[in-house]
Structure formats: C-alpha cells, structure tokens
Structure 1
Amino acid sequence: MNVTLIQNAAFVVAWDAASQRHVYMRGADVAFSGGSILHVGPGFDASNMPGIEVVDGSGMMVMPGLVDIHSHLVHEPINKGYTDETGSAGLYNSNLYEYMPTMHGDDEVAPAQTTLAAAELLMSGVTTVVDMSIPHEHWQDIMVKSGLRAFIAPMFRSARWYTRNGHVVEYDWDEKAGIASMENALRLIDAARAHPCGRLDGMVVPAQIDTCTPELLQASHAEAARRGIGWQTHAAQSLPEFHEITRRHGLTPVQWLHKLGVLDKGSVVGHGIFVDDHPDTRWSTVRDLPILAETGATVAHCPTVFMRRGMALRNFGRYLRAGINMGIGTDTYPHNMIEEMRHVGYLARLMANSPHTVTTGQIFHAATVGGATALRRDDLGRIAVGAKADLVMVDMTHHLMRPSRDPVRSLVYAAADRAVHTVYVDGHRVVHRGEVSSLDYRAASAAVDEGQRRAEKLVPQRDLVAGRSASEMSPLSFDFV
C-alpha cells in the first residue's frame, strides 16, 4: 500500500464529526493512501511502512479541497476586460441579455478557455467543480487531464433569450430542440460517470428557469433522480427574470420551482438572489426562503459577477439563519474560489450593515461541506478518516499569511491563491509550489487572448440593439494617443 504522510503540519483544518464543524489542529499529521484519508492527528506511526512518502508539513496549513458548485469554464475567461463594467440600464443593469451574447468564443478557443479556467481553480485550492458549460469535443479529456474532481453539467434549454432594444427580453422557443439537447446532455453525463479515472460525475442542468418549459424542468429533474445525481438551474438571478416568471405564472421563481416539484435535497438554485422579500422585488409574500429551507435545496452563491452590476444577495448570513444549505461557486472570471469567499464575507456584511451577520468559519463551511452536501457527498470537503484525499497545503511562511493568528482568515482576506502551495486530488498531487503540472495554462491564456480578438470582430453582428462595435459596447479604461 502506497502511503503519503504530511507530517507535523503547523495547522490542519480537520473535521469534527461530533460537532459537524471544522476545527484547527496544531502539529498534526495527515496520512492518505489510495485516494482516501487514513489518519488525522498527531503521532502517525510510519515505522513499519518503508515505502511511505513523507511530506514536510512544518510551515504549512493543510485544509480540505474547496468545492465549487457553480462554474462555467468554457464561457467566462474570454469575457475578461469586456464585461467588467457593462449592464443594460433598461434591464435593471443585468448583463445577461444585451452584452453577454455579443462576446463568446468560437470552437477553436473552447479547449483553451476550459484549460485556463481549470488551472485557475486548482491554483485557488478547488478540488471539486461543477462545470456548467456548453459541450465541446475536448471537454471531458481536459477534465480528466486536469486532475480535478469534475461534475460534468452540460446546459440545455427550450429557448434562447435576446433583446432588440435594450429594455425588453424576448424568447425564441424550440421545445423539440430543448428535449434533444437534454438527451445529448444525459449521454455526456452517463459517459463521464463511466470514465475509468473515477473522478468524473454529472449534474443535470436545465439552463435557466425562464428559458425552459415546465415539462423540461420536470423531465430533467426526474432524469437526475433516476440517476441519483444532482440537478441545478439558474433562478432568481435577475430582475427581468423575476418579472418574467411572475408575469407568466403569478409566482416568484422559487415558488414556481416549488410548484413544479423540482426542489429537494438534490436541487441547486443557481444564485437565488431576487427572492420575494428582496427589497428590489417588492413582492407580496415572504415565502421563498422558508421554501428553500423546507425542501432542503441548496443556493449556489456567486457574489463576484453580481457585484460588478451593483447587485447583491441580501444576505448570506440571513439565508444561513433561515436554515438554507449554502454553497459557493465561481460563476465568472477569475476562477478564484478564495477571492470568491472573500467577497461572500464582505458583501454579506455590507448588505446587513453589520460585521456580525456571517463568520469566516461559516463561509469556509459553505465552500467545503456546504458544496459537498449539495452534491450529496459526505466524503468531500472535509479532512477526516475515510474522506477523499482532496487536500490543499497553504504556505504559512508566505508574507501575506502573516500574522497567522487565524490562518483561514489570513488566507481569505489577504493571501488568497498566492499562498496555495500544493494540491492533492484523490491522493494525486496536481499543484506543487503554486504551479499546475497537468495543464499548460500559459499557452491556453495566449490562445484565449487570440480568441477574444477574433470574437471582438463579430460583436457588431451579435449586437441586435444597434450593431455597435466592441469598443462602443465596452469602452476601454483609457483612450489611445
């Protein structure tokens, strides 16, 4: 049996099963073999294991790998520098309908976008990701090569959205195409789950609540239940969507999903911001948060992309106190889970007008165990005997980690990915000294740069409002002289 021992770690963020929470250990060992953790605590006896690999843990914090339950690896890297400051004034500053459709990569750049985003995730301590993407030929191969524990989640829908004037969202419906797209997604998921690497799983994702028929939402949920896997959709993510669903059904997005019977412990609501008691919706009920809590559904919170538009979930601590399972995702660039955690904390406190609404421990729980709960995996997101050996070693000697009175706070609020030294997934080392060994992310970044230049040329054709150029839709920070 090949055993790896991280010996005498300065700190270990270990899981206490009795209290169901993370705890700090000092001077502890973590031993693992065959992808599973064998020992957590001081004094591991390696005297009868001549072939053991010993890793010096002094000066390191060992923590569980982060669980990202909402990400779009193939879509987002190309938006860097373009969608940072865009939003439709006539659509409550949402970026979804007028701006995002104008900047998307071609088939040639898809593998590079996936590669770049996967590397960013690994280098920020993510070991498990739900990748909600449009399928491309090399998707599964890149996920296998990366070393990530990946939940393949091909999106499908019954309609595409668009706007021709910047203040009205229209829908182009093709229900048969939606069903065919779901069937293809299920084939891809089944193939991923059968892959011999053992690190691939799947999630069923009807893309958005407003672009899917009730029948597609219910049928997809049934298919997820039949396979024993998770189900997720974007809902309550924009005010135009909120108003569209209330117009169609007289119910909020959360209430509509509940009426359809698709909210349960295997369901994830992507974003869940615009609920009935959010001050911007001014709806007549106060039922959405209780529904989410009662059904056991998870909310995937991704604050960064909404902060850019001046929008916010109100607030993370309030959702926790309502009894809702919360997970965290990297919905946008950069795919940096630690920075996303930082934004969770700062934004929650801002929205609550209080520093007491949420603790860093609660945020870390959401980024690990909360995500694992959403995936119905009690072997992820924790350092405990029998759990998967998905581990992150953080360099405590990094200047941004010091002072180190509370190392998780130092990581989240100061050092971020810069202090991530080593990452193991399923017992295999995939990041060492801050570098991903399995992916050429530098070459991928150059390819995405070139892909963005190609995409910029097509922006006037994709802008249905006024045929504007990329520089007109998203002016640069400074003029050229």
Structure 2
Amino acid sequence: MITLLSARHVLAFDGARHVLLTDGQVVMRDDEIIYVGTGYDGPVDERRDFGQSLIAPGLIDLDALTDIDHAIIDSWPTEETAPGMQWSEDYFHNRRSDVFSAAQRQAVRRFALAQLALHGVTTYMPIASEIHSSWAETSEELEGMARTSIELGLRGFLGPAYRSGINVTDGNGERVILFDEEEGLKGLADAERFLDYVDSLDHPLLTGVLLPCRIETLSDDLMRRTADLGRERDVLVRLHCLQQPAEDGFVSELTGRTVLEQLIDTGLMETRLLIPHGVVIDGTDPAARAEGGPLDVLARHGVSIIHCPLTSFHYAGMLKSFDSFAAAGINMCLGTDSFPPDLIKGIDVGTHLARIAEGRKDAGKVSAFFDAATLGGAKALGREDLGRLCAGAQADIMVASLADFRDGVVEDPLRTLILNGSARNVTDTYVAGRPVVVDGALPGVDLEALREEGQHLFEQMVAAYGERDYKGRDSSELFPAVYPALTAGQLTLDRLRWAGDLRTAR
C-alpha cells in the first residue's frame, strides 16, 4: 500500500537536520517512508492533501502522562495543604489500598493514551502516579496497557514502575520516606516479567524498558539490582532524579552519597540511562560545566535528559538551562509528565523559560526544542529511524492545521504553530504508516463516553486524597475552588443581600 500525503508545508530531514519544504509530499509504503520532496511521479494507491497544514515527524514524549490529570489539583498547594498530597503514616502501615479496580485502571490508561494520540504524540514512555495504588504498578497492569496501546496504534516503550519506599507525611506534617523492601523486590521481578512478556509478543510497536520510581524511593540494593538487570538485558532505564533539592538529603541520609555519586556507585550510569528533569543543576554556573562538574559527568556517561518545561513551570521551577545542558554535550529530549500532554505548548513555555534562565533573547531556539521532541527522543531510544521524515524512516507522522482564523497569519509554519497554536492544531497522525488520529478523532473510540468515564474516575481519585491525609481533611479542604461554590438558592439569597447593601451604601 503506497500512500502520498501532501501539504503546504513539510518538515523533511536532509540527513543532518530538519528542513522546510513548500508544497511538499511524503510518500510511505506500508510502515516505511519511501520519499520526501516535491513532484513525486511514482505509483500511488491513496492520496491525502492537507492543504494549509504542516506535515512533521510525530512527537516523542519520554515522560508521558498515562494517568488521570493530577497537576490540575496538586500544583497549587499551600504550606498547609501540601503535606496532604502524600500518604499518612497510618495509611502506609494500616490502610494501603488501590483507589481503582483493575478494570478502572485500564480505563484510566485508555483515557490517557487517547489524550497522547490526539496531542500529536506517536511514541511515548509512560509515567503515572503510584499514590493511587496500594504500592506501585504490576506486570499485569502494564500488559493491559500494552494491549490498549497496540489497539490504538501508538509506539510505546513500557514497563511497570516500582519502588521500595514512598514519600509519607508524618504526624508532625513533615515529609519522610518509609520503606518496604519486599515490595521493591516484587516490583523488580514484575519489571523483568514484563520484559519477557514484550519479548514474547515481538510486536514492532512495543519495547520493554525499566522504569523505577523516583530515586529517593529506591533502596541502594534495588538500584544496584536495576542496574544489573538493565545491563544484562540491554534495555533503557529511566529514573526520575535531579528534580528536587530534598533528594540529595534523603539519598545522603540513606547511603551517605549524593544523587550523582549514588548513580555512579550503583552502576546506573553504566546503563542506557534517561533522567527527567535535571532542574536542580544550575547549568548557567561555570562550575556545573567544568570538568568533573554535574553536566560533564552526565555528558561523559551518555545520559539523556528529559526536559519537561510545562510541568516545571506549573510547579514553579525551570531548567537552568536547556542551552547550557545541550552545549555540554548532553542529549536533550522532551516530556510532558502531566496534563495536558501538549509538547507544542511545552516547547513554547520551554523556549521562554530558557531565555529567562540565560538572560538573553536569542536563547531557547524553537529548532533546538523541536529537535529534542523528535531527533533527541529518537537518539535516547536508540532508534535512528524515528523522529524524522526521510526515506527509510518509520512512517510516524503528525499533521497540524494552520488554516484556522485564530491561528493568525503564517510566518514560519513551525514558529507559528508553537507561538500561536497548540497540539490541539493536530488533525491527523500516522504510526508505522497506520492512521491513528483522523480528522481530529480516534476511529473506533467514543471520545464523549471516554470523557464522561474519565471525569467519574477523576472525582473518585480526588476523593481518595482525604482518606490518606494525615489530618483527615476532606478533599474540598485540600483542593479549594478558585472562588467559593454556592448553590442556586444561596446565590439568589446572597444577591438580595448584596442589593440591600448597595442601596444602603447609596
């Protein structure tokens, strides 16, 4: 099956970099691109012209939310409510349970994967919150998500998250980490079991990886065992670290080492390591770039940094800075890590944060960030056939419309998309040549029913926070509305009172 796609703008790859074509064409045979250019005159079975659109490589999200949105509630805490985001000690010791049933958890996954697809993501590596589980993820849970991922047609690098400890709020409202080493070892066994499952499927859209949780929730032994398994199976390892200043304190108390020392001593630096987020390193400090400094250490070990600018921004942080990390020779990738899974919006925010961090207006180039969302992600995955539109590459493609009046005038199509649009401009995607998003919809998926189910599950998730809070507060206290919520009757009564007050004031 040979399919020709055409549009006003095509972002092609010339062997070294992305280049822009006007009135371009992309031709694919089954799962592979066979031609990118203009004036194709070979045989074609199907043609689709997208008009005033940009055809570009599909986006690679290496910290992709596969959960119901939590940033919308937990990125606004006060000093009083923030401790309620964690488990209480009593919950840890006596009442641990799953918020969702197994079937509900799969519904959460379907909701999240549909969101990724509709936002132009064609390749993803998942992240979810373990706080809603009795401990962490299981092989069975990820097997279900793998089946959904294949059904929808996404390219997934998957593995169950596992940990031996968890952040807990003690009776004094302080953050501590409590451990259950047996749970950690069970999780690692599940992770290996999932690798075997993926090998048995031998599906081109599915790759098994190791996804341990945040570094402070891993014991020294679990990190060493993870490194051993990563090297033995030659699989990618992604570990959240270098994200919060408190990490070093927790790791130092547990092991007597800093985070970087721990990564080196446990052997994780010798694996195919990906790290979200890196924000605790100040790359603008010359000491960070010097020989033996943190950026030098990461670059020499071939570590890829997954920058999640939108999430950092939501949680009052930023990478200092994208340009400094890249200049040090570190492979830069992008992730979303929370809702919305919008890498276009993330690039927009990231470029502006880079300028603030560097203190200059020419920092944070759009091209560098888009490269990270495509070529950088492909490099981290060891897949030189992804993240680019050229002959021989996989036919993973995103089409973004620039035809809406609200997009304004088109200057450079990519810069216009980044500055004036969002991933909601995406109308179509292809993964391995298969249409995944078609005219803004997912064929065979009832999005309205999925939205209603997602809303119900979100409300169930929010209510569970009150059950875990160390003070036993209701979720309405932990997550107060922007403005006070009144019933219709209260609103009518208050209007009469306000009217009376106004008459008195006059």
- Tell me the residue number matched to 2:477: 472
Q: Deviations over 1:134-157 (max 9, x none)?
A: 342632221111111011121111
Matches of residues 40-119 of structure 1 in structure 2 within 5 Å? 40-46=36-42, 49=43, 52-74=45-67, 76-77=68-69, 79=70, 81-86=72-77, 88=79, 97=86, 105-107=99-101, 108-119=103-114
- Taking structure 1 as reference, are residues 87 and 345 closer, same or farther at Cα in structure 2, changes over 3 Å only? farther
Q: Distance in 2 between matches of 1:287 and 1:477?
A: 43
Aligned partner letter, 2:466: P
Query: Which segment drifts farther, 368-377 or 106-115?
Result: 106-115
**Given that residues 121 and 337 in structure 1 are in contact (C-alpha distance below 8 angstroms), is that contact kept between their aligned partners in structure 2?**
no
Partner of 2:182: 176
Residue 346 of structure 2 corresponds to which residue in structure 1? 340
Q: Indicate conservation of the 8 Å contact 1:360/1:409, yes or no.
A: yes
Give per-residue Cα distances to partners, 1:6-53, cap 9 Å, x unaligned. 13x312111121xx221111222211112011011112222xx3x611
8 Å Cα contact 2:168/2:175 also seen in 1: yes
| Contact 1:147 1:438 (8 Å CA) reproduced | no
State TM-score, norm by structure 1.
0.89
What letter is aligned with 1:16?
A: D
Percent identity of paired positions between Structure 1 and Structure 2? 26
Task: Name the residue aligned to 2:34.
Answer: 38
CA distance in 1, matches of 2:85, 2:188: 22
Partner of 1:422: 428
1:330 to 336, 345, 348: 336
Q: Which of 403, 408, 418 is equivalent to 1:397?
A: 403
Equivalent in the alignment of 2:118: 123
Confirm or deny: 8 A CA contact 1:158 1:174 kept in the other structure. yes
Question: Take 2:172 and 2:65, find their aligned partners in 1: how far apart are those partners?
Answer: 25
Contact residue 110 and residue 145 of structure 2 kept, 8 A: no
Question: 5 Å matches for 1:32-431?
Answer: 32-46=28-42, 49=43, 52-74=45-67, 76-77=68-69, 79=70, 81-86=72-77, 88=79, 97=86, 105-107=99-101, 108-133=103-128, 134-135=137-138, 136=141, 138-165=144-171, 168-195=174-201, 197-264=203-270, 266-275=272-281, 287-431=293-437
CA distance 1:199–1:330, shift in 2 (3 Å): same
Alignment partner, residue 12 of structure 2 = 14
CA gap 1:262/1:87 in 2 versus in 1, 3 angstroms:
farther
Residue 360 of structure 2 aligns to a residue in which SS?
coil
SS in 2 for 1:403: coil
Structure 1: where are the runs of 5+ without partners?
none
Using the alignment, how far apart are the partners of 1:339 and 1:104 within structure 2?
33
User: Once the 2 structures are TM-superposed, how far is the Cα of residue 89 of structure 1 from its aligned partner?
Assistant: 7.1
Shift of residue 439, structure 1, vs aligned partner = 3.2
What CA distance in whole angstroms lies between the structure 2 residues aligned with 1:208 and 1:463?
21
Contact 2:465/2:475 (8 A) holds in 1: yes
The higher radius of gyration belongs to 2
CA 94–253 in structure 1, closer or farther in 2 if over 3 Å, else same: farther
Structure 1 residues 122 and 455: CA distance shift in structure 2, 3 A: closer
Q: 1:239 to 1:31 in 2, by over 3 A?
A: same
Do the aligned residues in 2 keep the contact of 1:430 with 1:438 (CA within 8 Å)? Answer: no
Structure 1 residue 300: Cα displacement: 1.0
Q: Determine the C-alpha separation between the residues in 2 that align with 1:166 and 1:26.
A: 63
What is the root-mean-square deviation in Å for CA atoms of aligned residues? 2.8
Distance in 1 of aligned mates of 2:291 and 2:302: 20
Letter paired with 1:26:
T
CA distance change for structure 1 residues 432 and 229 in 2, over 3 Å: closer, same or farther? same
Range 397-406 or range 287-296, more displaced: 397-406
Alpha-carbon distance in structure 2 between the residues aligned to 1:244 and 1:153:
25
Provide closer, same or farther for how the CA distance between residues 324 and 458 of structure 1 changes in structure 2, counting only shifts above 3 A. same
316 and 452 in structure 1: CA distance in 2 versus 1, 3 angstrom threshold: same
Residue 449 of structure 2 is aligned with which of 438, 443, 447?
Answer: 443
TM-superposed CA distance for 1:59, in Å, is 2.2
Give the whole-Å Cα distance in 2 for the aligned partners of 1:346 and 1:277. Answer: 16
Aligned length: 466
Q: CA deviation at 1:414?
A: 1.4
Decide whether the 8 Å contact of 2:227 with 2:266 is kept in 1.
Answer: no
* CA deviation after TM superposition for structure 1 residue 98, in Å: 6.5
CA distance in 1, matches of 2:247, 2:87: 14
What SS class does the counterpart of residue 448 from structure 2 fall into? helix
Within 2, Cα distance between the matches of 1:95 and 1:407?
Answer: 44
Amino acid corresponding to residue 63 of structure 2 in structure 1:
H
Give the structure with the higher percent helix: 2
Instruction: Write out per-residue CA displacement over residues 365-390 of structure 1, whole angstroms, 9 at most, x where no aligned residue.
Output: 00011111111110110111111000
3-state SS, counterpart of residue 209 of structure 2: strand
Query: In structure 2, do the counterparts of structure 1 residues 104 and 413 end up closer, same or farther at CA, with 3 Å as the change threshold?
Result: farther
Q: Deviations over 1:362-413 (max 9, x none)?
A: 0000001111111111011011111100001122322344422211111112
Which range moved further: 332-341 or 398-407? Answer: 398-407
Q: Is the 2:85–2:469 contact (alpha carbons within 8 Å) kept by the matching residues of 1?
A: no
Contact residue 37 and residue 388 of structure 1 kept, 8 A:
yes
In structure 2, relative to structure 1, the CA distance for the partners of 1:111 and 1:441 (3 Å cut) is farther
SS of 2:324 mapped into structure 1: helix
Give the letter aligned to residue 109 of structure 1: Q
Residue in 1 that maps onto 2:490: none
| Cα separation, 2, equivalents of 1:278 and 1:241 | 21
SS at match of 1:221: helix
Q: Which residue of 2 aligns with 1:23?
A: 19
- CA 1:420–1:95 in structure 2 vs 1: closer, same or farther (change >3 Å)? farther
